[in-house]
Amino acid sequence: MLMSSFKEPLKNWFGYSRRERRATFILLIMLLAIGGLRFALPEKEITIEEIPPGTLESSIDFIPDKQANPVIQKQKVSRVIQRTRTLIDLNTCDSISLEALPGIGPVLSARIIKYRKLLSGYASVGQLKEVYGLPEETFNLISGRFFADSLAVRKININNSDFKGLIRMPYFERFEVVAILKYLELNGRLNSINDMIDNKLITSDKAVKLKPYLEFGE
């Protein structure tokens, strides 16, 4: 009697059917279960790790930073520019190209070109050391900017040349030219640069310099 009098107000209060009460009970259990998982599972602590300096810099190309140290930034830009520079051919460059280099003014530029004409072309970059008035420190500074196309060198046919044609070569001394012409007059021809060494017409050291400039064909 007491229970029925108690159930009746509850039924009237909620106004649920048996099916609705069952669904509500299941939903309540699910909510309790989800809430319990929150306390059952440990929370994972998320931290932000500091990226060591230089990590990104080593993995990507250099990008100028307005807030970077100006000296360091200038050095990095200089290295990037150095990698992209094109070499200058000593046998085709003009005075404008030469004067754009450090330590080369109008005077040295003119001498480099004049010596190129005397040689009939540079066979190697090292021959810049022979240019009158070119300091060694300047050579060390600019030599890496050049290459010498040896195919541009105009060779001298030693068997068909006269005194004027030989003496204009800077590596020949007057007495050597006279000796060569005298040998050709008596013996007819020279077959190789080794013939010139063996017959004491030039030294072996001189032969190293002259080899790119001489030919012995008809």
Considering the segment(s) 88-152 as one domain, its CATH architecture is Orthogonal Bundle (1.10)
* C-alpha angle 202-129-138 in degrees, rounded to nearest 5: 175
What are the extents of the domains in the chain? 7-35, 88-152, 156-215
CA angle, 41 then 47 then 53, to 5° = 160
Segment holding 48, helix H or strand E = none
Q: How far apart are CA 112 and CA 94, in angstroms?
A: 10
| Residue at 53: amino acid letter | P
Query: Which residues does 177 contact at the CB level (< 8 Å), separation at least 6?
Result: 163, 166, 167
pLDDT digit string (tens) for the chain, length 218 residues: 544 554 555 555 456 566 666 777 787 787 777 776 665 555 544 444 444 444 434 433 444 555 656 656 555 545 544 544 689 999 999 999 999 999 999 999 999 999 999 999 999 999 999 999 999 999 999 999 999 998 999 999 999 999 999 999 999 999 999 999 999 999 999 999 999 999 999 999 999 999 999 999 86
